Structure 1
Amino acid sequence: MKRSKLILLMASSATAFLASAGQSSYAQVSADDEDTIVVTAQRREQSLQDVSVAVTVVTGDQLKDQGVTNINQLQNTAPNLEVEPAFGGGAAQFRLRGVGFQDYASNNSPTVGVYVNEVAFPVPVMTQGLIYDIERVEVLRGPQGTLYGRNTTGGAINFVTKKPTDEFAAGVFAEYGRFNEFKSEGYISGPITDGFRARISASTQQGGGWQHNRDTDEELGDANRGGVRGLFEFEPTANLEFLFDAHYSWDKSENQGLYLINDLATRGGAGPTILADTDRSLTGWGISPTLLTDIGASPDRKPGRDNSGWGVSLNGALDLGGAILNSITSYESLDRSELGDWDSSASSEADTFFGSDVSVFSQEVRLSSDGEGPFVWQVGLYYSKQELNERYFSDFLDIFGTYGRVNYDQTVESVAIFGQAEYALTDKINLIAGLRLESEDRFLEGFGTAFGGATALPPTDVSTSMEPLTGKGGIEFRPTDDILLYASVSRGTKSGGFTTYNTGQESSIQPFAPEVLWAYEVGFKTDFIDNLTLNGAAFYYDYSNQQVLSAVYGVNGPVGRFANAPKSKIYGAELELTWQPLPNLNIIQALGYKEGEYVEFFDLDVPASRLANAAVFVDRAGEALPFPDFSYSGSASYLIDLGNFGVVAETNYSRRDFYPSWLGSTYDVESYWLVNASLSIAPTDGPWTLGIWARNLLDKEYDLTRNFFTSADIAQPGRPRTYGVRLTADF
């Protein structure tokens, strides 16, 4: 039955445009003509349809149409992508083609790499800044590493910002909507002297809180974040160019409120019972005085964050005549201070604080061929050093009568040599091969815990390392100029790591092993029909030591801990289509499907253990991996020509499938549809566009995630219907 669904999916033709940018860590898109989009990847121009990698490209305008302002909201723009927020704070947990990692701490590497202008953000919480002044976003599916500085099993998300312009340009964008939500961004760009150009952009987001305290009616959820970026291009000689990127961001936003799925008997039944919320706009909080005093916060502080980050990078390219030498030097820093109320009540059942200082230095050097000859190659060297100091405090005074403090440092150093080559065997057959050798050392230093002021685990050091050999092999076959068929096999790996939650046992922080993924993929790209592009891919993943969020049974019941499932598998497909049936009508459709199961895994049964008040284990071999099977998204836009003005009517929509939870049916997330729409008008030759928009037009009630912490069963709801106006002007 499962295989028949996969065959049916691949046979259908109702899906969307699969753009491809190659596995280069940098690709600039330009329009060659009305029908061809050209990618300059690996220092050569290629049509998106000529590269055999599954990647979805989303433009900056599409992000604005869908109201995407942070990376979490990308999950409705690409097939088989989920970005799950963690406990109201928003820290992203990525999953591509079912390959993901659920962790609300900061110390472990993600399965999906995130890059901004070629610079990696290897600590997931560092990805939470505003998205603005974007040229496009590329979502690559499958293991990456033979052309990337970092190695990932799930894929990569590349953000490419707009670059300085050859002529003076400036623009503003402003949007105001329901719940007093305000967003704006602006830029100024142009030449300063010969060979020197600059672009300054900035953005802010304010308001938008739509939830209220169930007891006091006080509002929660207002945004207060912003960022500024300066890009400077310098060409000292004809064969040498530099791009310098300096940016700063801040986030003083309130957290998204959580609501109670079930009744909460506070204080272990000795306190009042709070009835389950039937209205998703209701929530509750009350940060404990003990926690607020410990971190030096004001007594009236709401759940929320006070984060700031900055970074700089220098990207240089030297034309050696027949080869291009690239160097990318970067430094990124984040200061995180975040308060959470995970029990959604005034009771101190699960009040939390994260204090994180993160810094990442990286240096990448690449040498690549220049030109379109039959042999195209690239080799690179990558070095990265991450440093993390984290404090994680938990107030359980009203449920367990104790207060937990976790402190630790972590250092990660990695060095990699990587490369990939392509050889045109004939005018129809192209062979691809790539290798990567990596050495990584991960040190958890001074990990200590205390409960109620008493030491539970004295400062302890543990470490883990890996030296995996990974790579890729592939073949491309072009029977006609309009059809590309390809097949590939690749091996990716994800670092091991540590579970840094509350624990008094040294065994709980012992490292879990790296995971290894063998990925097999076949695909096609076609544009043999005028104004229609139909592409697709099918994949099979063979997993070893998949890293999964499990639990151990402690004195207070199940406590989360990462474990390795020895064997598992995932398989699925994507189909994507772009179609212009009429000159002014554009349609995009995307469909993704995936299923997976454990082949070998003996695990703690969390629901049964909670009921039995003792550890209960289960053999999960044959059980489905807990992620949604189907994803669907699409858009349609139509331009109405009114002579001196044009009106664009646009709608975009997505469906997220049923999401089963490994914690039990109480925490399953039901499937839902989201529909957005907008109507814009602009003069034919004028600089401005005025529009109205609505998001979640059908006012669907839905959840982004469900979970529990101590005594509270909670869910994070999605936003209700919002609507507003926007203005764009470019000069």
Structure 2
Amino acid sequence: MMGISKLSLAGVSLAALMTAASPAMADDAAQPTPKPADGGEIIVTAQHRAQSRQDVGIAIAAFGREALKTLNVQSSVDIARITPGVSLSSNVGGQNSQFSIRGVTQNDFNDAVEAPVAVYVDDGYVPNMQGQTFGMFDLERVEVLKGPQGTLFGRNATGGLVQYVVTKPSDQLDATLNAGYGRYNQTRIDGAIGGPLTQTLSARASFYYDRNDATLKNVYPAGAAGGTPVNLGGVTSPCCANEGNADTLAGRLQLQYQPSSDLTVRLVGSIARQRMSTGPYQQEATIAEVNAAGSVINSYAASPTETRAAIGPGGANYTGFSGSPTSRLAGADWFGFTAPNPALRQVSVGYASSNANWTDSYNGALHVNYDFSGMHFVSITDFKSFDKSFAMDVAASPTSFVAYGTLAHTQSFSQELRLSGSGPKLDWTLGAYYLFINARASDGFIAPAYSLFAGSLGATDTGIDLTNSFRLKTSSGSLFGQVEYEFVPKWKVIVGGRIISEHQTYDFASGATANLDPFAINPVTASSELFPLQPSFDDSRTETLWTGKAQLEYHPDHDLLIYAGVNRGVKGGSFNAKLPDGTPALPASQIPYSPEVLWSYEAGFKLTFLNGAGTFDASGYYYDYHNYQAFTFQNVSGVVQNRNARTYGAEAELVLRPVQGLQLNASVSAFDAQVKDLQIAPGVFRNVRPSFAPRTQIAGRVSYRLPVSIAGGSLTVNGDGTYTSGSFNNLQNFDSQWMPGYTLFNAGVTWKDAGGHYNLGVFVNNVTDKLYKVSGYDLSNLCGCSEEVYGKPRWWGVTAGYSFR
């Protein structure tokens, strides 16, 4: 049992946290404790060296291989589901998702933009925000680090980072094979085999396959006015497929050369491809509210009796939008379409293909680790290539109106060098990092033949694309270092920093092109452009940025850590690529936007008790944001504005293993965030909440291994529940952009044989089949509607696996 002194220290620390940060508590989602009753200390590399999570003064969520399997984590972004303080933004019907940590988010769908939350796979940075969604396989663990992480990790990030640590080759033969079948004919197979090839050479090969049928049934043309969809004489072909299907295939090969215990050289190659339907959006009829200047200042869900096109001053019917009807059918969108009840999991969309959207990615890396003279040297050389083509129906209806498409090709090269050393009182790391990103992308409006948009531009029989094409090259070089020094017994100071030189070149063109493929955007080139839409733009700039960290830690014994510090994070600036939506083009001065700077002030403690059978961690923080990169979707496009912001919050996590085989986890996160003076319309400024930033998240989990043998093996029952409060899907914070809070429950049972080689399982996610919104786009001034994305329905599955270690 812990002593009175430790209880007092923890209590004083918690009281101070709650005074400094008034919302609730919580930390990372619960996982095995450093000294659990049944063994199995979880080790993290949050500071580029192996440490117990309880010995690191950072708010961390860590999930080992077995925990990921127990929680049925299948996609990279599933981590957000089980980690309070972490949420997701998304686009293209949820087919692309991005992490948000403590309200630090950006949901720009520009394919050249980097995320404020960095993602690393096997120490390699994922350079594009649209590349954060991928299948998970053959992982050792996943770590989520909250708060700015700019001093030690290669790419500066204001919100935090998520790193996926792969299982590496070893000198012991091991193999795994797992298979599963679930709802919507989900079929999942993954496996790996590794071991020695010679005395100094080992290898590991792993693969992953996951596919499922459509989750949304297309009932086209149901809901169309009079049962007849609006078009100009034809239907886009192929037509009317069900949506929500996906097919992913990936593989990884590693070769490791270890001529001595001091030197390890590892070569890695991986490949992945995804094939999906068009973006699976459902529709909701909405109505915009405008002020006397005709600017949209709010929007609402349309009532079943609503017949106005929009709400003007004094509640009058407003018809001043381009293409606006004089009125609408009661409760329908502008074209008379009434969408199916979203609980039916149905869409009614003419522009729908089962195999239109795809991504292809390739990665090659060389890792070198060398120990000499009491120091450790690391070199990581990484190359990534990412290609993508996505399309979706804008109005998510049977009306042949207009589609949105994006085509992207991103390549990156990075080189990181680190040198570190450890002593009785001093740990230090020095390094250099170089990153080059070459991002080429095109996005815009696809107007197929016979669509209303094509007809308005005189291209009824041929179709036409309204396209932005741009290239952003980023070269970033930095020097960094961090020192941890125990200046007196039990007291440690940590000081770190990074200096960054970043050069960017940007080229932008906007023009109309022929519609060569109804499900793919056609890039703008000198030969393809029919006529210009917005002025071309090019720019080049070099910026010097810096990050820093200063932290004080008190470690009275191995069971308690108390820490407090300040951290300066930064994310480089970028460029807007406003869509050709019919509104005036951005002036040249508003196309570039500035770097964002986040000053984080955080204090917390990590307490281990009951002889390692319990842990209690808590932290409180205050964020002071300068030039926050605020992405606002409006006028059927999106633009980033630099605004100031602030956030304060607290987190806590409790883990208990009171008896052998039983683990109880509870965690909570709460914060209040505000973006200041956001321009939501010309001349209209408001303080708003960040998008995709629920103020409160609560998670609980229980796992119990029965104390008796079942069929010669062990049976483990587990369940978890999460509560997520409401949030907005757009920074404007309009009424129709609100996504209500929800509670989800998941359950599973797993059997393992006594030898630990075979396992069988069954799981049910979203046990109550809760209908809940996770994303959306407000198009009230374009179609009198909004696109909506709902979370996965109840999903059951069975699994079987074999492992040899």
- TM-score normalised per structure 1: 0.89
Please point out which of 229, 248, 252 is paired with 2:252: 229
- Residue 284 to residue 17, structure 1, CA distance change in 2 (3 Å): closer
CA contact (8 A) 2:86 2:99 kept: yes
Q: Secondary structure at the match of 2:587?
A: helix
| Structure 1 position 526 matched with structure 2 position 604 | no
| Structure 1 position 171 matched with structure 2 position 176 | yes
Written as runs of structure 1 = structure 2, the 5 A alignment for 1:151-300 is 151-215=156-220, 218-255=241-278, 257-262=280-285, 268-269=324-325, 272-280=335-343, 281-287=345-351
Written as runs of structure 1 = structure 2, the 5 A alignment for 1:660-671 is 660=728, 661=730, 662-671=732-741
Q: Secondary structure at the match of 2:739?
A: coil
| Structure 1 position 330 matched with structure 2 position 382 | yes
Deviations 1:578-620 (A, max 9, x none): 111221211122211111123x425124xxxxxxxxx4x3332
Amino acid of the structure 1 residue aligned with 2:429: Q
Distance 2:686 2:475 in 1: 35
Deviations 1:630-672 (A, max 9, x none): 1112211111133322111111221111113424111210111
Aligned partner of 1:64 in structure 2 is: 69
Distance 1:84 1:166 in 2: 41
Deviates more, 1:391-400 or 1:676-685: 391-400
- Residue 181 to residue 92, structure 1, CA distance change in 2 (3 Å): same
**Structure with the larger RCO, 1 or 2 (CA within 8 Å, 6+ apart):** 2
CA shift at 1:19, angstroms?
A: 7.6
Aligned partner of 2:488 in structure 1 is: 426
Written as runs of structure 1 = structure 2, the 5 A alignment for 1:444-523 is 444-450=506-512, 453-503=530-580, 505=585, 507=587, 510-523=591-604
Deviations 1:532-551 (A, max 9, x none): 10001110000111111236
Written as runs of structure 1 = structure 2, the 5 A alignment for 1:714-729 is 714-729=787-802
Q: Secondary structure at the match of 1:251?
A: strand
CA contact (8 A) 1:15 1:534 kept: no
Distance 2:789 2:348 in 1: 12
CA contact (8 A) 2:179 2:189 kept: yes
| Structure 1 position 639 matched with structure 2 position 705 | yes
- Residue 319 to residue 55, structure 1, CA distance change in 2 (3 Å): same
- Residue 39 to residue 91, structure 1, CA distance change in 2 (3 Å): closer
CA contact (8 A) 1:486 1:522 kept: yes
Amino acid of the structure 1 residue aligned with 2:185: N
Amino acid of the structure 1 residue aligned with 2:212: G
CA shift at 1:692, angstroms?
A: 1.2
Deviations 1:219-275 (A, max 9, x none): 221111110001222113342111211100001122452111117999754984110
- Residue 88 to residue 693, structure 1, CA distance change in 2 (3 Å): same
- Residue 535 to residue 359, structure 1, CA distance change in 2 (3 Å): same
Deviates more, 1:480-489 or 1:256-265: 256-265
Amino acid of the structure 2 residue aligned with 1:637: S
Deviates more, 1:470-479 or 1:59-68: 59-68
Amino acid of the structure 2 residue aligned with 1:379: L
Deviates more, 1:261-270 or 1:634-643: 261-270
| Structure 1 position 413 matched with structure 2 position 475 | yes
Aligned partner of 1:25 in structure 2 is: none
Distance 2:390 2:197 in 1: 41
Unaligned runs of 5+ in 2: 1-14, 222-239, 288-308, 310-321, 327-333, 458-464, 515-529
Deviations 1:327-361 (A, max 9, x none): 10010001212222232123343412211111000
Distance 2:786 2:247 in 1: 28
Aligned partner of 1:603 in structure 2 is: 679
Q: Secondary structure at the match of 1:468?
A: strand
CA contact (8 A) 2:181 2:799 kept: yes
- Residue 80 to residue 516, structure 1, CA distance change in 2 (3 Å): same
Distance 1:187 1:75 in 2: 26
Written as runs of structure 1 = structure 2, the 5 A alignment for 1:382-393 is 382-393=433-444
Q: Secondary structure at the match of 2:573?
A: coil
| Structure 1 position 678 matched with structure 2 position 751 | no
Distance 1:89 1:45 in 2: 35
Please point out which of 337, 341, 351 is paired with 2:403: 351
CA shift at 1:108, angstroms?
A: 1.3
- Residue 11 to residue 178, structure 1, CA distance change in 2 (3 Å): closer
Q: Secondary structure at the match of 2:155?
A: coil
CA contact (8 A) 1:72 1:85 kept: no
Distance 1:156 1:590 in 2: 19
CA contact (8 A) 1:449 1:455 kept: yes
CA contact (8 A) 1:176 1:182 kept: yes
Deviations 1:160-188 (A, max 9, x none): 01111322111111110111111110111
Q: Secondary structure at the match of 1:246?
A: strand
- Residue 286 to residue 353, structure 1, CA distance change in 2 (3 Å): same
More strand by share: 1
Distance 1:498 1:8 in 2: 36
Structure number, greater radius of gyration? 2
Q: Secondary structure at the match of 1:583?
A: coil
Please point out which of 713, 725, 730 is paired with 1:657: 725
CA contact (8 A) 1:257 1:284 kept: no
Distance 1:389 1:182 in 2: 34
Amino acid of the structure 1 residue aligned with 2:252: R
Number of positions where the alignment pairs a residue of Structure 1 with one of Structure 2: 692
- Residue 318 to residue 131, structure 1, CA distance change in 2 (3 Å): same
Written as runs of structure 1 = structure 2, the 5 A alignment for 1:75-90 is 75-88=80-93, 90=95
Written as runs of structure 1 = structure 2, the 5 A alignment for 1:312-327 is 312-327=364-379
| Structure 1 position 123 matched with structure 2 position 128 | yes
Distance 1:220 1:279 in 2: 14
| Structure 1 position 435 matched with structure 2 position 497 | yes
CA shift at 1:41, angstroms?
A: 6.4
CA shift at 1:9, angstroms?
A: 8.7
Deviates more, 1:110-119 or 1:704-713: 704-713
Amino acid of the structure 1 residue aligned with 2:638: G
CA shift at 1:102, angstroms?
A: 1.4
- Residue 275 to residue 18, structure 1, CA distance change in 2 (3 Å): closer
CA contact (8 A) 1:464 1:496 kept: no
Amino acid of the structure 1 residue aligned with 2:439: L
Aligned partner of 1:546 in structure 2 is: 628
CA contact (8 A) 1:263 1:275 kept: no
Q: Secondary structure at the match of 1:34?
A: coil
Please point out which of 562, 565, 583 is paired with 2:640: 562
Unaligned runs of 5+ in 1: 22-28, 288-299, 606-614
- Residue 123 to residue 274, structure 1, CA distance change in 2 (3 Å): same
Aligned-residue RMSD, C-alpha: 2.8
Distance 2:573 2:25 in 1: 40
Please point out which of 118, 136, 139 is paired with 2:141: 136
CA shift at 1:277, angstroms?
A: 2.9
Distance 1:239 1:192 in 2: 19
- TM-score normalised per structure 2: 0.81
- Residue 7 to residue 728, structure 1, CA distance change in 2 (3 Å): farther
Please point out which of 697, 704, 712 is paired with 2:774: 704
